[in-house]
Amino acid sequence: MENIEHYLSDVLEIPMEAIGVCGAYYTLKHIKKGEFLLKAGEICQSTVFVEKGLLRMYSIDENGKDHIIQFAPEKWLISDRSSLYFNEKSKYYIEAVEASEILLLTPDFFSNLSMQFPGTIVNNDLLLQKHIRSLQNRINSLLSDTAQQRYLNFIRMYPNLMQRAPQWMVASYLGITPESLSRVRKDLVKKDN
Q: Write down the H helix ranges in the chain.
A: 2-6, 19-22, 81-86, 109-116, 120-144, 147-157, 167-174, 178-192
Q: How confident is the model at residue 153 (pLDDT cuts 50, 70, 90)?
A: very high
Beta-strand runs (E) in 13-65: 26-31, 36-38, 47-52, 55-60
As a whole number, mean pLDDT of residues 182-191 equals: 91
**Residue 89 resides in a domain:** yes
**Residue 14 resides in a domain:** yes
Structure confidence by residue, pLDDT tens digits, 46-92: 999 999 999 999 999 999 999 999 999 999 999 999 999 999 999 99
**Residue 23 resides in a domain:** yes
**Residue 182 resides in a domain:** no
Helices 109-116 and 120-144, packing angle to 10 deg:
140
**Residue 138 resides in a domain:** no
Range of the domain at 66: 2-119
Q: Residue 193 above 70 pLDDT?
A: no
Q: What is the DSSP letter of 41?
A: T
**Residue 69 resides in a domain:** yes
**Residue 65 resides in a domain:** yes
β-bridge mates for residue 55, sequence order: 72, 96
**Residue 25 resides in a domain:** yes
Task: Decide the pairing of beta strands 47-52 and 100-105.
Answer: antiparallel
Question: How many other C-beta atoms are found inside a 10 Å radius of the C-beta of residue 132?
Answer: 10
Measure the CA–CA gap between 126 and 7, rounded to whole angstroms.
14
Number of domains composing the chain: 1
Structure confidence by residue, pLDDT tens digits, 22-49: 999 999 999 999 999 999 999 999 999 9
Q: How far is CA 165 from the centre of its chain?
A: 14
C-alpha distances out from residue 78 to 21, 60, 181, 188, 189, Å: 22, 18, 25, 31, 32
Q: Which residues lie closer than 8 Å to 91 by C-beta, 6 or more apart?
A: 40, 59, 80, 82
Q: Residue 95 in contact with residue 37, Cβ under 8 Å?
A: yes
pLDDT computed for residue 154 by the predictor: 95
As a whole number, mean pLDDT of residues 139-156 equals: 95
As a whole number, mean pLDDT of residues 102-118 equals: 92
Average per-residue pLDDT for the chain: 94
CATH number, domain at 12? 2.60.120.10
Q: Quick check: pTM over 0.85? A: yes
